[in-house]
């Protein structure tokens, strides 16, 4: 395995672990915030209906037809709504409201299974009314998952873009090694001149110093060998007296 691949692999695995932890943490936080936002939406719808009933000065014993406008506005927000008197009489409800008994529901938030589906429920009791707003858990999950995917796509694009930038950056950082390899490959057998790599990083300089020191000792050895050979040849050419 090349040094470039090894560096990218080690750094990439580290990034995957760190970014995975960060992504899980972020997604968990986003999911919790979306749940709270959707719960707040139920409460706001219930309070809005209560405000409409108060402004219209309707009494719990009024005709159910008088309450249709209040639940219609809530239904336009995609939330099922039911208005009933505290004595249990249903005054109005949206068509999407589950046909279930809401008498025993606690005030505030709760989760119940009705008609084979899980529902998130908010109950407000005020001015003689029980106002119940609900939405289905599976529909909430669809919305939350779509928002999480929308938030996650830029995250993954940035991650893979970072890996690409890492590959290019490591390749450029290894350029001095490529220059060194080229110089060593092009050296002649008797070439003992020092190797010079411009803009060499500090990590490469000990290697260059060691190689240049080796080349210097090799040059001295070759010079000594040539001097010995020349002296021996001279002695052989000189006649004995």
pLDDT for res 158? 84
Q: Distance between CA 75 and CA 114 in Å, rounded?
A: 19
Is 100 within 8 Å of 110 (Cβ atoms)?
Answer: no
pLDDT score of 63: 59
List of residues 6+ apart from 91 with CB closer than 8 A: 60, 62, 64, 67, 83, 84, 85, 129
Place of tokens 């409201």: 97
Model pTM greater than 0.85? no
pLDDT in tens, 145-173: 888 888 788 888 888 888 888 888 888 88
Q: What is the mean pLDDT of each run of 10 residues along the chain (241 residues)?
A: 78 85 85 89 87 70 60 62 79 70 80 83 86 87 86 83 85 80 77 73 76 78 75 64 52
The predicted pLDDT at position 122 comes to 92
Nearest C-alpha neighbor of 3 from the set 207, 232, 177: 177
């Amino acid at each position: 395995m090349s040094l470039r691949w090894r560096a990218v692999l080690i750094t990439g695995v580290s990034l995957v672990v760190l970014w995975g932890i960060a992504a899980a943490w972020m997604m968990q936080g986003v999911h919790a915030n979306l749940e709270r936002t959707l719960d707040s939406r139920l409460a706001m719808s219930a309070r809005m209906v209560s405000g409409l009933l108060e402004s219209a000065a309707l009494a719990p014993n009024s005709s159910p037809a008088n309450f249709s406008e209040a639940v219609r506005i809530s239904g336009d927000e995609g939330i099922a709504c039911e208005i009933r008197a505290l004595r249990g009489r249903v005054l109005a409800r949206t068509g999407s409201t589950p046909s279930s008994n809401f008498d025993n529901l606690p005030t505030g938030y709760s989760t119940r299974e009705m008609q084979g589906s899980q529902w998130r429920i908010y109950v407000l009791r005020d001015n003689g009314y029980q106002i119940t707003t609900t939405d289905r858990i599976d529909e909430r999950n669809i919305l939350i998952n779509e928002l999480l995917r929308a938030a996650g796509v830029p995250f993954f694009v940035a991650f893979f873009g970072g890996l690409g930038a890492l590959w290019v950056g490591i390749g450029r950082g290894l350029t001095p090694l490529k220059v060194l390899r080229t110089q060593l490959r092009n050296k002649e057998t008797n070439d003992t001149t020092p190797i010079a790599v411009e803009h060499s990083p500090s990590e490469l300089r000990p290697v260059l110093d060691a190689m240049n020191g080796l080349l210097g000792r090799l040059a001295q050895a070759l010079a000594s060998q040539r001097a010995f050979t020349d002296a021996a040849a001279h002695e052989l050419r000189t006649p004995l007296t």
